[in-house]
Structure 1
Amino acid sequence: MRRMVDEPYFTHSAYSALTTGIQVKCSKCHGPGIVTADKDYAYFRCYNCGHQETRERTIYRYDVHNQCRNCGRYYRMDIKDEAKQHFPVLHVACPHCGTMMPGKVHKTAEAYAYIAEIKDGKEPYFGLELWFLTSFQGKPVWALNREHLAYLIGYLSADLREKPFSIPRKTQADHLPTFMKTSKNRKRIVKLLKKMQER
């Protein structure tokens, strides 16, 4: 009989995987790559073609605030268009009277990018598809990296799954959707996961 003691809730999360790496598909060559992060930046590196990307983790607000030379009122206009955010000066219309006038673009650090979870089989920084991604009856089945994949195989193929004594609350298995934990599906899902392990 195979026993498995479950792991703490955040052992395999997008947040914890940023130090060990989230394995993804390269947007250029579709080969294997990895996404990692430190407190300021997220990094992508492709093992196959060498393509690399870096993205800042701070979220900025871009706006033009000005006093209208026509009506004299103060205004602040947010600049949502990414292409326009990097101009030093933009012509914007006063929201009160419609007068077009130039204004300096201000960049303000608004928030620190918290770790989003995996959405639609893609990691949260570059929107790259996970390397270990498949589907079961139309539902996505994925793993962040080889360690996460090994955990899933071990957990789902165990005959007895136990919660650790030291952790009274949620464990890693609480992340798993019900369809993966249902006894009639477990064998077939483990087969899919083992096939992904060969990549």
Structure 2
Amino acid sequence: MSRIVDEPYFTHSVYSALTTGIQVKCPKCHGAGVVTADEDNAYFRCLSCGHRMTQDRTVYRYDVHNQCKNCGRYYRVDIEDAAKQHFSVLHVACPYCGASMPGEVHKTAKAFSYASEIKDGKDPWFGLELWYLTSFQGKPVWALNREHLAYLIGYLSAGLRKKPSGGQKKTQADHLPTFMKTAKNRERIVKLLKKLQEG
């Protein structure tokens, strides 16, 4: 009977995969590409056609702050509409008296984006489909990269699964949805994952 000792909770997380790379499909050639990130940016690089993309990980705040020429009060109006955030000057209404006047659009760094979730089988920055993606009974089954895929196959096909020593409360298996861990589904899911591994 094969045995496996589960891995720590963050071993195969989006956060840890930023350095090793999340494998995705290239939007241009549909070949294999990789998404990585550093402190400032997320990067996409296609391993087939060489296509590249960069995405700023900083979240910005856009606003117009001004002194109203009508009532004399100082105000700040946030610009939520992404289409208007690219203008250098916008006409905005004074929140106190309603007078409209032009004001300079200010862009300030507000936060740092820790994208952490895979949604609908897509990476969190570019929205590219994961390379290792399939479905089981209408539910997405995916792996971030080859190492994560090997872990899933090993964990789900093991006869005996143990938590690592050291009293860690959460392990890598805690990321897995219940349908993947259910005994009656495991064998069929392992078959699907092995097909991905061969592909």
Tell whether the structures are fold-level matches, with TM greater than 0.5: yes
More moved, 80-89 vs 158-167:
80-89
Quote the residue 2:113 is aligned against: 113
Quote the residue 1:144 is aligned against: 144
TM-score (norm 1): 0.95
Offset at residue 95 of structure 1 (A) = 2.8
Q: Matches of 2:48 and 2:42 in 1, distance apart? A: 19
Structure 2 matches for 1:61-140, cutoff 5 A? 61-140=61-140
Contact 2:8 2:168 in 1 (8 A): no
Contact 2:10 2:16 in 1 (8 A): yes
Instruction: Tell me the alpha carbon deviations over residues 14-53 of structure 1, each in whole angstroms, 9 at most, x when there is no partner.
Output: 0000000000111222221110001111100111221111
Instruction: Tell me the alpha carbon deviations over residues 75-116 of structure 1, each in whole angstroms, 9 at most, x when there is no partner.
Output: 211112333323222222223333221111111111111132
Q: CA RMSD in A?
A: 1.3
TM-score (norm 2): 0.95
Unaligned runs of 5+ in 2: none
Which AA in structure 2 matches 1:175? H
Structure 2 matches for 1:158-173, cutoff 5 A? 158-173=158-173
Question: What is the DSSP-based 3-state SS (H/G/I as helix, E as strand, rest coil) of the residue aligned with 2:60?
Answer: strand
Q: After the TM superposition, which segments of 4 or more aligned residues of structure 1 sit over 4 Å from their partners?
A: none
More moved, 139-148 vs 23-32:
23-32
Q: Matches of 1:148 and 1:188 in 2, distance apart? A: 18
Q: Matches of 1:49 and 1:94 in 2, distance apart? A: 51
Q: Sequence identity, in percent?
A: 78
Question: What is the DSSP-based 3-state SS (H/G/I as helix, E as strand, rest coil) of the residue aligned with 2:15?
Answer: coil
Q: Matches of 1:31 and 1:83 in 2, distance apart? A: 32
Unaligned runs of 5+ in 1: none
Quote the residue 1:157 is aligned against: 157
Contact 2:121 2:129 in 1 (8 A): yes
Which AA in structure 2 matches 1:83? A
Which AA in structure 1 matches 2:133? L
Quote the residue 1:12 is aligned against: 12
Instruction: Tell me the alpha carbon deviations over residues 114-170 of structure 1, each in whole angstroms, 9 at most, x when there is no partner.
Output: 132111111111111111111101111000000000000000000011111124311
